[in-house]
Amino acid sequence: EAGVTQSPTHLIKTRGQQATLRCSPISGHTSVYWYQQALGLGLQFLLWYDEGEERNRGNFPPRFSGRQFPNYSSELNVNALELEDSALYLCANDRYSGANVLTFGAGSRLTVL
């Protein structure tokens, strides 16, 4: 089966712009998680969507937002970009809500200049 796919692979923006990242889940996986992997900070939890609803949110400002579509794909939006938003953004699925075993995509590398 196809894995978790993310697009774009790389994205370069300037401060103040908006970035949109996309995630297509494995077929049948309903939960989508977003993580930010910044250098030296590990993976920081951003958002969790399940069945189209936001289930939980990490300690990030409101300019980080997202949504989940009826086909369970998801979008992460980052408004008013700041230099420290430069990071690898990872999307992950679990097979059903709360299953815990996450399958990760390759990530989208966002660079803010």
Partner 1 sequence: AQSVSQHNHHVILSEAASLELGCNYSYGGTVNLFWYVQYPGQHLQLLLKYFSGDPLVKGIKGFEAEFIKSKFSFNLRKPSVQWSDTAEYFCAVRANQAGTALIFGKGTTLSVSS
> Which residues make up the interface to partner 1 (CB under 8 A)?
3, 33, 35, 40-45, 48, 55-56, 58, 90, 92, 98, 100-102, 104-106
Query: Which of residues 81 and 87 has its CB atom nearest to partner 1 in the complex?
Result: 87
Q: How far is the CB of 70 from partner 1 (least distance, A)?
A: 22
Query: Which of residues 16 and 52 has its CB atom nearest to partner 1 in the complex?
Result: 52
- Helix (H), strand (E) at residue 110: strand 108-112
Query: Which of residues 81 and 92 has its CB atom nearest to partner 1 in the complex?
Result: 92
Rg (CA), the chain: 13
- Please state, as a whole number, how many other Cβ atoms lie within 10 Å of the Cβ of residue 61: 10
- Helix (H), strand (E) at residue 90: strand 87-94
Q: How far is the CB of 28 from partner 1 (least distance, A)?
A: 18
Q: How far is the CB of 15 from partner 1 (least distance, A)?
A: 26
| Strand bridging mode 108-112 / 10-13 | parallel
Query: Which of residues 92 and 112 has its CB atom nearest to partner 1 in the complex?
Result: 92
Q: Which residues contact 54 (CB under 8 A, 6 or more apart)?
A: 47, 48, 66
Q: How far is the CB of 55 from partner 1 (least distance, A)?
A: 6
